[in-house]
Structure formats: structure tokens, C-alpha cells
Amino acid sequence: MKDILNDKATLRSQLMNSRSRVGSDRRVAASRALRDALLALPEIAAAGTVAAYVPVGSEPGGRDLAEDLAAGSTRRVLLPVLLADDDLDWALYEGPASLVPAGRGLREPIGPRLGPEGVRTADVLVVPGLAVDRRGMRLGRGGGSYDRALARAPKAAVTVVLLYDGEVLDEVPAEPHDVPVDIAVTPAAVYRFTR
């Protein structure tokens, strides 16, 4: 178990390091391609409620991800609010003015909080990650926030991680609490994992 934690930490720092070296041109191009691929998924088209996040820094997806998901549709978009114990609360995205700077470089929604159980209303969860493997096992930032949120999500919900090309690996170290995702979207490809 200790080895797995070490392996996760090492892999995390390698991946964060390569992300920090992605230039802004490549990031913008990647975000466009990712957004187009994500919006083209039939699961997104069919979703009444999507739980998403607001990409910051070098994260793939673009800072307007929530707007991209909400624009021109009746879809509800839920966004995470980080709690003190690293668990996630949720609130509705209500337009660009409803996002405010929060701790750890994040931008969070200011609307009414739905509670951590709010994620139970999601048909699709678009989640951040640093890498995924061929089984759909995802490496996150290490707070266990999304492990907890995914454990609460409806069984029928579809989970999608957004990554750069090169972050789909043969194997990511996994622990029993890790919950695999169904789909990984990168600028160049859509990967579907079988459960």
C-alpha cells in the first residue's frame, strides 16, 4: 500500500511537471479540440444535468468549459465547491458572472449550495485528472475529492475525464477506493473503457 502511495506521488509530480511545460498556444488549441470532442459525445447531448469543473492553470478543457456545456441548451451544469476536508459541495453554473476566485487558484460558483449529495442528480460527470489507464483508472490530485464524488454518483451516470494526449497510460497505480471512469477525451481521441 505504501508503494502504491509512493508510485502515485511520483507519477503525479511527473505529470504536473509536463503539464506546466505546455505552452499557451498548445493549451488553447488542445482546449478547442477537447471541447468539440466532448460536446460531440452522445452522452452529453442526452444529459439533462452535467457535473463539470472550471479548468484552471495548465488543466485541459479551457476556462469556459462550464459555459461551453451550458450554452444553447437547457442542460443544468453543476460545479464543485471544495470543502475544508477536500470533499466536494456542488452549485449550479449561472453564467460567467457567477464564478469567483476561490482558494488554491480555483474559480467556484457563488450560487446556493446543493450539498455533496447534489452530484446524485448528474447524468454525466466531467472530471479532472492527471492520467488514466487502459482500465479507466484515474490519477487525480490526491485529495480523494473525486473518489468520494464518484462513489456518490448514480450507477447509471457516465464519467468522462479530460486529458492531454500522452496522459493515457498503460497502467496507473490504483487502490481499492479508486473508481474507474467510462470515457477519456483527449484533443486527438476518445477512449471508451469497458466496465
Ligand X SMILES: Nc1ncnc2c1ncn2[C@@H]1O[C@H](COP(=O)(O)OP(=O)(O)OP(=O)(O)O)[C@@H](O)[C@H]1O
Binding site for ligand X (CB under 6 A): 8, 139-148, 151, 175, 177-178
Return the range that interacts with ligand FFO (CB under 6 A); candidates 38-46, 67-75, 131-139, 143-151: 143-151
Closest Cα to residue 18, out of 59, 56, 61? 59
Site of grid cell 481499492: 176
Determine contact, residues 144/175, Cβ cutoff 8 Å.
no
Cβ closest to ligand FFO, residue 139 vs residue 168: 139
Tell me which stretch binds ligand FFO (CB under 6 A): 55-63, 110-118, 164-172, 181-189: 55-63
Count how many Cα atoms sit within 13 Å of the Cα of residue 131 in the half-sphere of its side chain.
24
Cβ proximity to ligand FFO, 62 vs 80, nearer residue: 80
d(CA 112, CA 127): 21
Which of 9, 36, 45, 57 is in the footprint of ligand FFO by CB under 6 A? 57
CA distance 115 to 106: 19
Site mask, ligand FFO, residues 86-115, x = CB under 6 A? --x---------------xxx---------
